[in-house]
Copies of this chain bind each other. A is one copy, B any other.
């Protein structure tokens, strides 16, 4: 490996590499526990924290950072598995609301310990709380700025 001169570029490179490596471990852990992939967890978690456990498709897509069509297919599968339910939006005839079911809630609760364990051993374990706070605030800035570019 050649040294990247700029510390920010090195940070970027490690950021990308770490992400890829950790996701691999996490998906493997879910798979070994006969649980669905991380993307499902994300959707369940987002819905669980939304008002009444429901969200419009587009909002769900934005929060989960996936494309519209992708969230359609994702919820197709999850609906088939009984984890969410779709219904027409009462205030917008075009819209659809995606709602968490009790089964979905239960699955999220079941997935969390597996996920948490991976986060702890792969990630949290290697950070002191000062570092964690710094990473949070720095990435918070990055996310905000990236969000603003959405309009373009």
Contact = CB atoms under 8 A, between A and B. Distances in A.
B25 A139 contact: no
A8 B140 contact: no
Given A21-B65, A134-B134, A12 B146 contact: no
A63 B78 CA distance: 34
A135 to B, nearest CB: 4
B146 A14 contact: no
Interface in A1-20: 1-2, 6-12, 14-20
Interface residues of A, number: 47
- Which of the listed residues A49, A122, A146 has the most CB atoms from chain B within 10 Å of its own CB? A146
Interface in A70-125: 119, 122-125
Contact of A142 (B2, B11, B22): B22
Given A17-B65, A20-B65, A25-B149, A123 B142 contact: yes
Contacts of A22: 142, 146
Nearest to A26: B16
A136 B65 contact: no
B143 A1 contact: no
What are the 8 closest A-B residue pairs judged by CB atoms, nearest first? A8-B124, A14-B139, A20-B65, A7-B132, A11-B135, A8-B132, A11-B132, A21-B146
9 contacts: A11-B139, A12-B123, A14-B135, A15-B15, A15-B123, A16-B19, A21-B146, A24-B65, A131-B138
